[in-house]
Structure 1
Amino acid sequence: MPYGPYGTPGMPGAAPYGQPRRTTNGLAIGSLVSGIVCCLPPLGLVLGLAALPRIRKRGQAGKGLAIAGIVLSALSCLLLVLGLATGGFGTAWDGFKEGVDEAARSKSPASLRTGECFEDEDKLKEFATDVQVVDCALPHDGEATGRFKITGFSEWPGDDALDEVAEKRCDTINTAYAMDTWAVPADVWTYYYLPSSQTWRRGDRTVICAYATEKEPFKGSVRSDATTLNADQMSYLRSVNPIETTAYAEPEEDPDEDFAANRAWAGDLLKEIDRARAGLKGRHWPAAANGPIAELGTTLDAASKKWAKLASAADAEEYWAEYETAWKLLPAELGADVRTALGLTGTPPESPGGASV
């Protein structure tokens, strides 16, 4: 065993007494690291070539490191040149960027933010674990419209109870998010993501509301609210949208089966017609909309009289006598000219079969 100057065992690499320790050249180390990492191949080559004469002059260690760095850097430079010449480097970089972008877009449905459009690989099945956020101009399965927290339950209430709450709340959120209802495709409906029993136990109470389709993806955002509409557009839609909403709530049973429910519904629709009449007359509209607004007001005046008869019908027979005529005064394209004049969607959405709904 070798011994040092004082009779103690010498450590490997220890220098004789009175001589400086032999150091490793820093440039050689930098050359090797640059060559291995391959991020800056020319730098490793330059550092290695600069290190060799200094190593000889100063008697330093690191010649092997410098040579290795030179070789690796030269190979990296060669691969870089070939990649640029053949386009392979660009393809690899594009693939890398695509992977990073896809990973950034992938998220849990619970983390969707209002206004984000998304693809759902599970096609809106009951248990969705991940969605891909995409530009709304591209085809997508849904668009997040808002969120809310479930309250009033001390323990897991079950899917049916959550469905009941979510359906009502998300209908309200979606109605406020897409006021220009004609801009929403016919096969795009209210949808929501619920907490599961497992996430509920971890404290999750958030419901994500959306407009979504289980059919062909759609393009473009359906958002039309205070962030996108002007005051005239919002005033008009607030006046007429409740007519449309109430009309869709017609009882499933006809008057012969449930006369009371149908007459009550007719009364509700009459109230919305009369509110719209008052709202349209109580505002100064842009000049281009004055004519169409006046025509719509005349139509609603006539509709009010007919629906008043339905709401006061004595029996199902009297109800049926006015029913068809009353509906003719509320066609699907009601107010189309006003919408066009105000810069809103002027054509009702078409059902998959081609008919307006």
Structure 2
Amino acid sequence: MSIPPPPGPQQPQGQYPHGGPGSQAPYAYNPYAPYGPYGSYGRQTPVNGAAIGALVLGVLCFLPAVGLVLGVIALLQIRKRGERGKGMAVAGSVLSSIGLALWVLALSTGAAADVWGGFKDAANGEGTPYALAKGDCFDSPTGNLEGEAYDIDEVPCSGRHDGEVFAVVKLPGGAFPGDDEVTRIADDKCYALQDTYAMDGWAVPDDADVYYFIPSRRSWRFGDHEITCLFGSTEENGRLTGSLRNDATTLDADQVAFLRAMRAVDDALDGEPDDYAEDDLLANQTWAGEVADVTGAQAKALSGRTWPAGAGKPVADLVEEMRDASREWTAAAKSPYADDYYEHYDEAYAYVDGRTTVTARKALGLDTTYPTYEDDSEGADGGGSAAA
């Protein structure tokens, strides 16, 4: 690296008016040498690097103490070397001094901690749907759980809220699978997982339904590979009140055992064929036989358990009705004609969620409000989705 010549008139190299190489005589005056910030041969004097660094740090207000030190060093080097950049050094020093004063003020008032907390929250996705976890409740700034969602406000589940998360489904990495595929996965997973969070469907309000946050193509690029399943109200401007969670974390062992048995029967009933027995008797007979087996097995499981005081007889009465229902389902499965099939079908359904079920639930401290079910065939509105 060459050292720049000192400022002022200089003799071009190769000319020795007072002697050859090594002569100690001073250079002769060269009338063609430029003046000012230029050295010999018209080369511009370089800008001091420390001055540039001081200005950059001063403008960015980043490491103001370093910027101030660089500014002082730059001024000393410029004076000694004759380099350019004095204005940059002065400006950087002034801006760094102001930045340093602001940092001292921020530290003394606690504002710096708030700023750092904001950086950490942003890095963790705090305040966005991406940060929600199972059991969290939140409000949407728009009060709407459909469309695109950019930010949310987490709130206690004990009060009123727009949504409650009941599951988070991790998606594999790689390329974005597409909006349709992500929505399909959300439909399958979220509706299947709702009962693991809210085991007692009777305790879920009639206006509560399944919604979900799904990643968009844009958020996928930033690492958003999760589907957030949640409960929300289907009513216009409707909200949920209190947590809907009722699982092993909030229920006792007897309540969990009872609800699992009832859920198994409900799942079997949900598998009823779409075709009537007149159109497809075999399919309906097969389904009735499956319901008979499940109902009988769950009756046996309930009867083999020791229940707390006050719940033994109500549960025993329910078990007897479940056994009667199982026999009717078995008869329906063997019916040779559709009319005969429906006679046993109606008798079996008479035992489902009847008076004995309500009595047993009350004895176990479970909800006794009989739920209402919407007919999907009539196009009832369900939940929805939002892109995170």
Q: TM-score range by the shorter chain?
A: 0.5 to 0.7
Amino acid at match of 1:196: S
2:320 maps to 298
Residue 97 of structure 1: aligned partner: none
Q: How does the TM-score come out when normalised to structure 1?
A: 0.64
Q: Which residue of 2 aligns with 1:232?
A: 254
Distance 1:251 1:122, change over 3 A: farther
Segment of structure 1 superposing worse, 268-277 or 255-264: 255-264
Match for residue 171 of structure 2 among 131, 150, 163: 150
State the distance in 2 between where 1:249 and 1:331 align: 17
Describe how 1:1-357 pairs up with structure 2 within 5 A. 107-120=127-140, 121=142, 123-151=144-172, 155-215=175-235, 216-331=238-353, 335-350=357-372
Match of 1:58 in 2: none
Deviations 1:167-224 (A, max 9, x none): 3322333211111221111221222221222223444321111122221212111111
- The one-letter amino acid paired with 1:336 is V
Identical aligned residues as a percent: 34
- Aligned-residue offset at 1:333: 5.4
- Structure 1 residues without counterparts, runs of 5 or longer: 1-32, 41-99, 353-357
Contact 1:333–1:347 (8 Å) recurs in 2: no
- TM-superposed CA distance for 1:232, in Å, is 1.0
Asked if the contact 1:187–1:351 (Cα under 8 Å) also holds between the matched residues in 2, the reply is no
Moved more, 141-150 or 325-334: 325-334
Tell me by how many angstroms 1:242 deviates: 1.6
Query: Displacement of 1:350 after TM fit?
Result: 4.9
Q: In 2, Cα distance between the equivalents of 1:170 and 1:309?
A: 36
Shift in CA distance, 141/255, structure 1 to aligned 2, threshold 3 Å: farther
Give secondary structure in 1 for the equivalent of 2:187. helix
Amino acid at match of 1:305: R
Structure (1 or 2) with the greater helix fraction: 1
Indicate the larger mover: 298-307 or 134-143: 134-143
- The separation in 2 between residues aligned to 1:287 and 1:304, in whole angstroms, is 27
Partners in 2 of 1:110 and 1:254 — Cα distance?
45
* TM-score, scaled relative to structure 2: 0.59
Tell me how far 1:246 sits from its aligned partner: 3.0
Specify whether residues 200 and 315 from structure 1 end up closer, same or farther in structure 2 by C-alpha distance, changes over 3 A only: farther
Kindly indicate whether structure 1 or structure 2 has the higher relative contact order, using CA contacts under 8 Å at least 6 residues apart: 2
State how many pairs are aligned. Answer: 260
Contact 1:141/1:214, CA 8 A, preserved across alignment = no
Identify the range of structure 1 (284-293 vs 170-179) with the bigger mean alpha-carbon deviation: 170-179
Query: Residue type of the partner of 1:325?
Result: E
Aligned-residue offset at 1:334: 5.3
Q: Deviations over 1:224-245 (max 9, x none)?
A: 1111111111111111112123
Q: Name the SS for the 1:288 alignment partner.
A: coil
Q: CA 1:266/1:205 → structure 2, altered by over 3 Å: closer, same or farther? A: farther
Structure 1 residue identity aligned to 2:210: T
Determine the C-alpha separation between the residues in 2 that align with 1:303 and 1:131: 48
In the TM superposition, what is the alpha-carbon distance from 1:122 to its structure 2 partner?
A: 5.4
Q: Please, which moves more after superposition, 308-317 or 203-212?
A: 308-317
Native 8 Å contact 1:332 1:348 kept in 2: no
Give the secondary structure class of the aligned counterpart of 1:287. coil
SS at match of 2:310: helix
Q: Is the 8 A contact 1:137 1:221 kept in 2?
A: yes
Preserved contact between residue 195 and residue 207 of structure 1 (Cα < 8 Å): yes
Does the C-alpha gap of structure 1 residues 146 and 253 become closer, same or farther in structure 2, counting only changes over 3 Å?
same
Give, in angstroms, the shift of residue 106 of structure 1.
7.6
Contact in 1 for aligned 2:317/2:356 (Cα 8 Å): no
Q: Does the C-alpha gap of structure 1 residues 150 and 290 become closer, same or farther in structure 2, counting only changes over 3 Å?
A: same
Match of 1:5 in 2: none
| Structure with the greater alpha carbon radius of gyration | 2
Change (3 A) 1:155 1:226: same
Change (3 A) 1:331 1:283: closer
Local SS of the residue matching 1:313: coil
| Structure 2 counterpart of 1:246, one-letter code | A
Contact 1:106 1:132 in 2 (8 A): no
Q: Matched residues in 2 for 1:197 and 1:314: separation?
A: 55
